[in-house]
Amino acid sequence: MTDYTAHEQALDRDCLTLSRHVLQQLQSFDADAQDLSALMNRIALAGKLIARRLSRAGLMEGVLGFTGGVNIQGEDVKKMDVYANEVFIAAFKQSGLVCRLASEEMEKPYYIPENCPIGRYTLLYDPLDGSSNVDINLNVGSIFAIRRQEGTDLDGTAADLLQNGHRQIAAGYILYGPSTMLVYSMGKGTHVFVLDPSLGEFILAIENLQIPASGSIYSVNEGNFWAWEEPIRNYVRHVHRQPGYSARYSGALVGDIHRILMQGGVFLYPGTQKNPAGKLRLLYEAAPIAFLVEQAGGKASTGTQPLLDVVPDHLHMRTPLIIGSPENVALVESFIQPTPANATVTQV
């Protein structure tokens, strides 16, 4: 191989930016494709701004800690939650792309009048996932999904968003870790980008990521053990007895899912007797992550039905989530819905 080719390859690599990859995925340069490429680029901009703030947060006054307020979820709000939410809104102003933003941090969707009615998309997002990690410099993330705006939504109930996860046009997450990564799918595979700080661009690192069919990692907050229903307890008792399993739980969904996408295994956030619906929100946490994992050959379930089939009844609806390598998820489901065929495995 001549130097030139290696040089050409490196140049090609450096030019395989997110916005170019989206156009390649859509195999089109028409207005719709350009809009979705620009939309993804705005999400990337929000990620870069949040990553910059996180990287210097420990040196800045008033960036970390709580605001003293409580959000629609009943959770104490972190200052970085508010900052990250404002960044996403600012990134889409004057864009003509997104008419409405629905966020974990806002009771009702936020409208960008200058973008309506031309903006044909709605962005649903969790601006800062794993916020319990942010003040201690552990990994956090942002989660996003793009859906088509159907109707004018004048009553602000976002009723047109109450549809199953298959209606997502694109979904992904940004992982703020040792490096900043953006993982997304438009329904044609799952792709991993790394932020090259010297370029300020997300560059393609892995195309068509495939999750291992099974893995030895299980990721769940065992502190909730006695709050779970018996079948989930039995599954965890089963893995405790199996040699080779390792428990890994970071407290941030994005970080735990990224590990499982790369190494295989299963993540669980089950319901509890007190909260049968669990903790995670369907529209801007579970459904986007399920879309990604299934595009990588994985499986996502509530325990009793495919996660992407769930139709929400309100914007901030919660759902149990069991997700990861298909064989591991099927094993958990076999404890929840035992059949004569799997009775030997589920007897603990």
Binding site for ligand FBP (CB under 6 A): 75, 104, 126, 129-132, 221, 251-253, 269, 279
d(CA 7, CA 300): 41
Q: Closest approach of Cβ 270 to ligand FBP, in Å?
A: 11
Question: 109 Cβ partners below 8 Å, 6+ apart?
Answer: 100, 101, 102, 122, 153, 156, 158, 161, 315
Q: How far is the CB of 189 from ligand FBP (least distance, A)?
A: 24
Nearest-approach distance from CB 53 to ligand FBP, in angstroms: 16
> Toward ligand FBP, which CB reaches closer, 95 or 267?
267
Pick 143 or 204: Cβ nearer ligand FBP: 143
72: left (phi over 0), alpha (psi -120 to 50) or beta: alpha
Based on CB atoms, which residue is closest to ligand FBP, 153 or 256? 256
Looking at the Cβ atoms of 17 and 131, the one nearer to ligand FBP is: 131
How far apart are CB 129 and ligand FBP at their closest, in Å?
4
Angle (CA) 341 228 239, round 5°? 50
Q: Smaller CB distance to ligand FBP: residue 96 or 251?
A: 251
Shorter beta-carbon distance to ligand FBP: residue 35 or 81: 81
- In the complex, the smallest distance separating the C-beta of residue 204 from ligand FBP, rounded to whole angstroms, is 26
User: Closest distance between ligand FBP and the C-beta of residue 141, in Å?
Assistant: 7
Residue whose CB is less far from ligand FBP, 251 or 306: 251
* Residues contacting residue 25 through CB under 8 Å, at least 6 positions apart: 186, 188
Q: How many CB atoms lie within 10 A of CB 277?
A: 14
Burial (CB count within 10 angstroms: exposed 0-12, middle 13-18, buried 19+), residue 12: exposed
Least distance between ligand FBP and beta carbon 253 (Å):
4
Contact 180, 174 (CB under 8 A): yes
Q: Following DSSP, what letter does each residue of 226-285 receive, concatenated?
A: GGS-HHHHHHHHHHHHSTT-EE---S-HHHHHHHHHHH--EEEE---SS-TT-SSBIIII
For the chain, the C-alpha Rg in angstroms (whole number) is 20
Least distance in angstroms from the C-beta of 298 to ligand FBP: 17
**Cα angle value 110/187/11 (rounded, 5°):** 95
Considering beta carbons, is residue 129 or 201 the nearer one to ligand FBP? 129
Provide the β-strand partners of residue 158: none
Rounded CA-CA distance 71/73 in Å is 5
